[in-house]
Structure 1
Amino acid sequence: MQVSRKTTDPADAVLREIEEMGKKSFIPSIGPVKGKILAEVVGKHKPRKILEVGSLYGYSAILIAKNSPARAEITTVEKNPENARITEQNVERAKLEGQIKVIQGDAMEILPTLPGPFDLVFLDAEKTQYLDYLKAVENKLHQGSVVVADNVRVFQDQMQNYLHYVRNTGRYRSQTVETLLEFSETTKDAMEISEKRY
């Protein structure tokens, strides 16, 4: 009789490991609850060229890759050298180095140099700079490109200019998705999902 062995997807294993870290000592990685929202956005829009600003340890980049079409390209930008190094290691362990490119440096210097167009942008870095990040790549977005911004409730006071821009200028169809802060059962947070209209 042949016994089948259940093999663990290496990307799933890395995601679970980061989730366990988050449960033990808080890390500002999006975690599984917000991860489900992000995965649903990716599943709906099926982006092929993706930009992430703020890698931390690579959780969201790996999650996006897992839920993206085959051959989707993800560029993730991380300012902190140690975090970028850990992200690269996690991407390699997840066997996704062919899909995810990690760039270490200041996003405001790097974003203008990146070739577009981008189908999806995920913002999860310095909260006061969300609007700066968006404007740095806005000419590399197309009609239907989606921008997802994390922590728009917890840090809403630091990103009022960003929220006003995506909600009120007419350039985007924007919705706020209420959720919980990563690895918290009580602290409310939200993600802003904005689709470029033109």
Structure 2
Amino acid sequence: MDLDHILNELEQKGLRNDETQSDKSLKYLNITKDTGEFLRVIVLATRSSKILEVGTSNGYSTIWLASSIPIEGTVTTIEYSERKAEEALSNFKKADIANKIVFLKGYAQAVLKNLSDQYDLIFLDADRSKYMDMMQDILRLLKIGGLIVCDNAISHESELAEFTAYLRSKQNFSTSLVPVGKGEFLAYKSYNEQV
């Protein structure tokens, strides 16, 4: 099965599931297809090869990211839901990109504290109420010249207000809000702050 077919299949399954599912924990809450295309262009343009994703769900966005990086690149992705984790791992095998993915199961705040690599790009698509709690680890893990991309920046603007305001206030970050999909907030790190 080719990649476009798998992505299309996952997109349709996500839309069908979320329309009929009333339990939020059982929704996939995937990115939109145009956001996937946007992420692909961003990854290719920035030549990102080490990506960190917070919030895997069923792996739809992870597949967009992993299929855009070089052969030796990796996407490290974090998911706490057992059910979604199993489905994502199965989807990675189907898409033949499991070798590019480092899957970490657990709560992002705890998992991030144990990471030490520097990432070219950090994609946030998880529990928005926890982003400020993760902020110091996100900033620590993002390399100079790296980019944070945060989903739902328009659809859930008020929930992300503190997070986006904080990054906008940082002298070492350039930010932009892109009206694609549910809204993508971008923050580019130009240097490390002096401590």
Name the TM-score class by shorter chain.
Answer: 0.7 to 0.9
Q: 2:10 aligns with which of 11, 18, 30?
A: 18
Partner Cα distance (2:138, 2:158) in 1: 23
Match of 2:21 in 1: none
The Cα offsets for residues 114-149 of structure 1, whole Å up to 9 and x where unpaired, read as 231111100000011223333223222221111100
* Larger Cα-atom Rg: 1
Q: Distance in 2 between matches of 1:49 and 1:110?
A: 17
Letter in 2 for 1:61: T
RMSD of Structure 2 on Structure 1 (CA): 1.4
| Alpha-carbon distance, 1:169 to partner | 1.7
Match of 2:24 in 1: none
CA contact (8 A) 1:22 1:31 kept: no
Counterpart of 2:101? 100
Secondary structure (helix, strand or coil) at the match of 2:91 reads: helix
Q: Corresponding residue for 2:184?
A: 191
Corresponding position of 1:183 = none
In 1, Cα distance between equivalents of 2:105 and 2:83? 9
How many Å separate the matches in 2 of 1:128 and 1:165?
14
Q: Where in structure 1 are there 5+ consecutive unaligned residues?
A: 1-7, 181-188
Report if aligned partners of 1:84, 1:103 keep a CA contact under 8 Å in 2.
no
Q: Which whole-Å CA distance do the structure 2 matches of 1:57 and 1:142 have between them?
A: 27
CA deviation after TM superposition for structure 1 residue 23, in Å: 3.4
CA distance in structure 2 between the aligned counterparts of 1:192 and 1:50, rounded to whole angstroms = 16
Unaligned runs of 5+ in 2: 19-27
Task: Find the aligned partners of 1:16 and 1:76 in 2 and give their Cα distance.
Answer: 21
TM normalised by structure 1 equals 0.86
CA distance in 1, matches of 2:173, 2:108: 22
Mapping of 1:42-191 within 5 angstroms? 42-180=43-181, 189-191=182-184
